A and B are shown apart, each in its own frame.
Chain A
Amino acid sequence: LQPAATAYYGELEEALIHGTCTSIDPSMIGSDVDTECKNKTAFSTTPLSFNPNLNHLREGLLSLPPFPQHHRERAVEKTFNSICMYAAAGYLAARPPTLEIFPSWPMNHLQQPYSVSTGSISSFTGNSHSVGSTTDSSSGQNAMPQAELVSPGSMRADSGQQQEVLMVTVDDYNYEEGLGAAATTAPIFQQHTADQDRRKHGSTRKEGKLLDAKTERRLAQNREAARKSRLRKKAYVQQLETSRIRLQQIEQELHGARSQGLFPGGGSASGDMSSGAMMFDMEYARWLEDDSKHMIELQGALQAQIMDANLVGIVEECMRHYDELFHLRAMLARADVFHLMTGLWATAAERCFLWMGGFRPSEIIKMLIPQLDPLTEQQTLGMCNLQRSSEQTEEALAQGLQQLHQSLAEAVGTSPLSDGANVANYTALMALALDRLDTLESFYRQRVLPSVTFPLKLPIMQADNLRQQTLHHMRRLLTTRQAARCFLSVGEYHRRLRALSSVWASRPRESFVAAAENVSPSGTAAEQAVHPYHQSQFSGL
């Protein structure tokens, strides 16, 4: 039996070392040794994505066939340990941004490896066959660990000491320690199993004889060592956590700086930006800086209650500044319409409320009208008419864009030949394309892409035109002071959206300790099942 398990573990280990992941089908890992060949074919290498496969790994480990104690102990210890080390190393090497080493190990599952390993170990001190027989059925494989935790009574039947080992195991390892255990080095792991062994033996002796002083001292030392290593693990996990958060913060800052164009040549992580897009991002960053200066000027001038000649100048400057923005956007629409439309130049919250690549004029007007009190009747009428005509135009533009979507969807979704090719032509072209990808690519670049991007910029540019017209007309309807308040409000609105985005981006990620503790209510049930003495303590309450 052992070679199969060792081979299995060896393959696991190897796969992890080489940074590939294995999709282990637990149901195929039978205790039937003859399925060793099947086990080997169960491995398939897929692109690196550790999260689901750590689950598989865990499941694979948990559904081990029974082995003679000493072999199993060593095999389990050594391999599990090294696998976890490599898993951790693999995580750190391959996915630095997210140190999610143990992403999917909620409480109850986490405790299983330890309890299973020790439980299984102890189960073989006595009746290897009885436990082995329950796990021989492949259907019962994965149920085994749960059975061990949930119904210690069944274990009790096998050997009195087993249940105690289980309870001690669970008692000793809370979630954090369990986490840290796998990430730390071999000696500590072995130390704990050694501790458990000693404790197991010690507890049996408590029942009858007195402990001799030497054993007692040894036990105390072991407990002390165990406590120390637990603390070390806690510290290590804490360190990992803070590093992870720090890494995320740095990533955010980097991303923020890049999107503002402060990092030249920053081909963002989300793909390469066209030069037009990058240029716009840089100009836009500068525009934003100037915009905030204007806001400060406006605020200062408005607070000076007297009608300042300066205010007219500042308002004119604001208007001109917006015109400049629309000019930049028009250039971007010609260079890279997707960048403009999808709002990659904007922050997350702004992107959420994007309408055709920018703000929706009627919404801005709706927001501004109550802020402009008092308005003359004529002004009110003018503003309401402006809102209505803007809404109508927005609706028309949106429908134009929708019609464009439909015709483009047909063009892109069906035959690449734009003149309605028949099926035979299409098949021929596809056959050609399979052999000559460069042909297809150039076809797309020369024929399909322009037919998509060229018309797409039309509604977007008209939307910008609408925004510009609306702002200009509003300026004409209002007094200088009112116009100043408008510009201030609009600027403040967008500034708050940007602030919201940055607060959101730098929100503290919940530690996965806290997250996992909230995750599984079943964990508590499992806990209670193995802590009957806890329950009895509280039963009197």
Chain B
Amino acid sequence: MPAAATAPIVESAVARVERLASESAVVVFSVSSCCMCHAVKRLFCGMGVHPTVHELDLDPRGRELERALARLLGYGPAGAPVVPAVVPVVFIGGKLVGAMDRVMAAHINGSLVPLLKEAGALWL
């Protein structure tokens, strides 16, 4: 994403994450080669939801975003640059849902669908 020409305000990674997360009803931070990211994308598509996907490996600031996500998820701030399996990270309605296991648990206990409806990602 190109910086503004006039005032080069560098957005912090966390702020960027939060901004991106609130831009759509369902936002998934992913890595294109990650199989669990693929699974979560398929899950949403199977439910008729079309999430906005940000592939971190295709983003020039991807590493920073990944670290920010790790911190949001509660991993130690002094963690290694590559935290094992941070992605996929799902936001619904701007709010953090979590990684694959959280999304799955939410779906099984029936709380995912109301959340999606509330965010406007699902009708019916």
Contacts and interface: CB of A to CB of B under 8 A. Distances in A.
A469 interface: yes
A400 interface: yes
Interface in B66-94: 85
- Chain B CB count within 10 A is highest, among A389, A390, A395, for A389
Given A458-B35, A462-B101, A465-B101, A399 B108 contact: no
B70 to A, nearest CB: 17
A469 B104 contact: yes
A371 B62 CA distance: 51
A72 B75 CA distance: 87
19 contacts: A382-B110, A389-B110, A390-B108, A392-B46, A392-B107, A393-B104, A393-B108, A396-B42, A399-B38, A400-B42, A403-B38, A404-B35, A458-B85, A459-B35, A459-B36, A462-B100, A465-B104, A465-B105, A466-B104
Given A458-B35, A458-B36, A466 B42 contact: no
Nearest to A470: B108
Given A392-B46, A396-B46, A407-B33, A462 B108 contact: no
A330 to B, nearest CB: 12
Nearest to A405: B35
Q: A401, A462, A470, A473: which has the most chain B beta carbons within 10 Å?
A: A462
Contacts of B38: 399-400, 403
A399 B104 contact: no
Interface string B1-44: 00000000000000000000000000000000101101110110
A477 B38 CA distance: 30
Main secondary structure of the interface of B (DSSP, over half): helix
A399 B107 CA distance: 17
Chain B, interface size: which category?
Answer: 20 to 34
Interface residues of A, number: 26
Contacts of B36: 400, 458-459, 462
Contacts of A459: 35-36, 39
Contacts of A403: 35, 38-39
Given A389-B107, A389-B108, A392-B47, A399 B33 contact: no
Contacts of B40: 396
Nearest to A471: B108
A190 interface: no
Contact of B46 (A395, A455, A470): A395
Given A403-B35, A404-B35, A473 B108 contact: yes
Interface centre among A390, A397, A400, A469 (most CB of B within 10 A): A400
A174 interface: no
Interface of A: 382, 385-386, 389-390, 392-393, 395-397, 399-401, 403-404, 407, 455, 458-459, 462, 465-466, 469-470, 473, 476
Interface of B: 33, 35-36, 38-40, 42-43, 46-47, 85, 100-101, 104-105, 107-110, 112
Query: Which of A401, A403, A476 neighbours the largest number of chain B CB atoms within 10 Å of its CB?
Result: A403
Given A392-B107, A403-B38, 14 more contacts: A389-B107, A389-B110, A393-B104, A393-B107, A396-B39, A400-B38, A403-B35, A404-B35, A458-B85, A465-B104, A469-B109, A470-B108, A473-B108, A473-B109
A335 B119 CA distance: 41
Nearest to B37: A400
A392 B104 contact: no
Nearest to B107: A389
A397 B47 CA distance: 14
Nearest to B110: A385
A487 B10 CA distance: 57
A455 B34 CA distance: 8
B42 to A, nearest CB: 4
Contacts of A400: 35-36, 38-39, 42
